[in-house]
Structure 1
Amino acid sequence: MTKHCRWIAVLLLLLSLPLATARAAADAPANLQPTLNQGKKWRIGYLEGGPYANYPQVLKSVINGLAALGWLEPVAFPQDKDVNVPANLWKWIGANVKSDYLEFPADAFYTSRWDEASRAKTKEAALTRLATAKDIDLMIAMGTWAGQDLANDRNTVPTLVFSSTDPIAAGIVKSVGDSGRDNINARLDPTIHERQLRLFHDIIGFKKLGVAYEDSVAGKSYAALPAIEQVAAERGFTVVPCFTKASTPDTAEAEASVIQCARQLAPNIDAMYLTIQKGLTPRSLPQVMEALNGNNVPTFSQNGSDEVRQGALLSLALAGFKYVGRFHAETMAGVFHGAKPRQLPQLFEDPPKIAINLQEAQIIGYDPPVDIIAASDEIYQEIEPAPAKAP
């Protein structure tokens, strides 16, 4: 089968998937209607490993999902970029969201700032409060670090893990069908990265795939390394790694490590999988792309269409997180109606949306077939101007 025919086969498979709903009706919690907690509002807390670009988007989508279900009034988020910092967004939500049923206490926000030393202290503070104060009814664990820190015997508060790349490999949950703990639920799409990589390989047909990630358990989990190795063995391409720094409170240091890896990998690869990590940011991405473009290296963003808009060639986007936000909101409603998180579905596959940047295609000399253009849901004609440069 030729590369182009393989692409068409994959495309038809993608388009045959339901564009659908956040979850099948049969799997949804029985009752999603707003209700009080014995006459009081439900109090929600938040823990993250550190700030990351996707986290505010996911949190906003969950708030919008809750509004759609009637748990709070519709929200108009400010356009101020400062609000896209998770700590600031949480503070804004607590002060501005109007609800007769839910409360988001300002002091229930915890972040480890991507620092191992801070992580131990933050974890202890959150677990101690949950066990002793008993003033939080549900915790949002945003990302892999947060999920790992709350999925243990010390925490009995219902906890929903959002935006974790691979909760099973990270030891947060036992399997797709069973979290392993009554109070834990983690959204899972176990084949998303395999689908991304197969699609990328069908389109480009590369033989050497560059991957930059931190050489740690968390770094490998964020990068979905098991999925990368699985598809590499299946398709017969070589994975060329480069190790970055992510578990550091210094964002500039993390960014510099990703840029350096791009420069190191570029002459030795024929494609690059841009993996989720602290150092790949809107500030560092232009320099990453500059290094790769100098060698005409096509790229696929694990993270989604935001990075395509900013210069990556391709991605399988997440529809602005709309559907996953509704999924999480329904899970929260199920918990508030008495279901244990473990009893609620964890499997959720976003409706597929293909994104491509045509200016990037021109820069690296890639002429996308008409079929790809016709099938792309998000087509960016140019690369979004970059913010201030990373070091």
Structure 2
Amino acid sequence: MKTNKTTWRSRVASAVVIAVALIMALSIVTLGSSPAKKIRVGIAQIAEHPALDAARKGFIDGLTAAGYVEGKDIVYDVKNAQGDMSLAQTIAQKFVNDKVDLILAIATPTAQAAASATDKIPILITAVTDPVAAGLVKSIERPGTNVTGTSDLNPVAEQMELLLEIVPKVKRVGIVYNAGEVNSVVQVEMAEKSAKKLGLTIVKASASNTSGVFEAAQSLVGRVDAIYVPTDNTVVAALESVVNVAEKRKIPVIAGEENSVERGCIATLGIDYYRLGRQTAKMAVEVLKGKNPAEMPVQYQKEMRLVVNLKAAQAMGVTVPQSVIKRADRVIE
């Protein structure tokens, strides 16, 4: 009987040892296979309109294509400031408090808010016209800060030339813009400079918010022969107000970017914001892999697209020359 009891106890002890060993092994395996930390990206957008939305989508699609799958490898916290600078600052501070790994700032105001909130977290910018004038970087070639990315600087001079090609009799050009947006001020100055060379006179009308865009556009009636809409976040967010005035008064409108042409302007020679977003994503991948934003030059989009909206031209009483239509990358009918 003693022998049987000893054997039984020995078997129990062995079983206990094996069980403990299995538990320890499983614990080690579990610890070793714990999921990697997800990269957290805060995305701040100044306002909701097609161009900026396209840049955001291009950025996310670009990171996905690079292997950063949303929900698995990376998570996005997307915030929209709705044109409110104080809200943009609150959003930026939230990202800092949340200790995100990277910030994407879409448009100049949100980029300025993010840069003011942190000099530690890497900031990628896009749809920012002049990062130097906005105080975001020390130079285009060598930012020298935690900020880099892509600029949406438009070929304003070429756009003025396009306006003259479409409407040769134009003498006075109205510009609706927000004087509080650095990016818009830069574009207006560029337009004024090129206008002098082309024999044109610029007439400015400012709107500090979207509700003032209609009044600004209306103030140009009888004073201008055409209207130019730069890539101004405030005006583009309320673009229909400008288009309505222009159609009613038969004033041709040339835009700074493609989405504005889709929404009723006659034409543009400009950038593709979706592609700009994807270009920014490539830079973000480099930063996530350890590259220093301070040493990464701000990039521009080299290829411009000529887009024409014949339906809009008809609504504004304009016949677009065949020379323009034939070389257009896209014609909206």
User: Which band: TM-score by shorter chain?
Assistant: 0.7 to 0.9
Q: Summarize deviations over 1:115-153 as a string: whole Å, max 9, x none.
A: 3443444444444x1xxx53x111111211111122248
| Structure 2 counterpart of 1:236 | 199
Conserved 8 A contact 2:309-2:332: yes
| Structure 2 counterpart of 1:277 | 233
| Structure 2 counterpart of 1:373 | 325
Conserved 8 A contact 2:195-2:201: yes
Residues 287-366 of structure 1 correspond to what in structure 2 (within 5 A)?
287-302=241-256, 304-319=257-272, 321-366=273-318
Q: Summarize deviations over 1:155-189 as a string: whole Å, max 9, x none.
A: 211110111232222222223212231x2103125
How far apart are the structure 2 equivalents of 1:367 and 1:113? 36
Structure 1 residue 155 corresponds to structure 2 residue 128: no
| Structure 2 counterpart of 1:66 | 63
2:202 counterpart SS class: strand
The alignment of Structure 1 onto Structure 2 pairs a total of residues equal to: 297
| Structure 2 counterpart of 1:267 | 222
Conserved 8 A contact 2:51-2:259: no
Amino acid at match of 2:251: V
Structure with bigger gyration radius: 2
CA-atom RMSD, angstroms? 2.6
1:71 counterpart SS class: coil
1:210 counterpart SS class: strand
1:268 counterpart SS class: coil
**After TM superposition, which residue ranges in structure 1, 4 or more long, deviate above 6 angstroms?**
none
2:193 counterpart SS class: helix
- CA distance 1:140–1:244, change in 2 (3 Å): same
| Structure 1 counterpart of 2:83 | 114
Conserved 8 A contact 2:154-2:270: no
2:38 to 41, 46, 51: 41
TM-score, normalised with respect to structure 2: 0.79
How far apart are the structure 2 equivalents of 1:43 and 1:366? 49
> If each structure's helix is expressed as a fraction of its own residues, which one has the higher value?
2
- CA distance 1:286–1:121, change in 2 (3 Å): closer
Conserved 8 A contact 2:173-2:227: yes
- CA distance 1:110–1:40, change in 2 (3 Å): same
How far apart are the structure 1 equivalents of 2:91 and 2:117? 17
1:339 counterpart SS class: coil
1:151 counterpart SS class: helix
Conserved 8 A contact 2:128-2:183: no
How far apart are the structure 1 equivalents of 2:156 and 2:112? 21
Conserved 8 A contact 1:167-1:186: no
1:163 counterpart SS class: strand
- CA distance 1:43–1:195, change in 2 (3 Å): same
- CA distance 1:363–1:191, change in 2 (3 Å): closer
How far apart are the structure 1 equivalents of 2:181 and 2:315? 35
Q: Summarize deviations over 1:254-276 as a string: whole Å, max 9, x none.
A: 24x21122222021111101232
1:59 counterpart SS class: helix
| Structure 2 counterpart of 1:18 | none
Amino acid at match of 2:295: Q
How far apart are the structure 2 equivalents of 1:67 and 1:112? 25
How far apart are the structure 2 equivalents of 1:186 and 1:123? 17
TM-score, normalised with respect to structure 1: 0.68
> If each structure's strand is expressed as a fraction of its own residues, which one has the higher value?
2
How far apart are the structure 2 equivalents of 1:327 and 1:272? 30
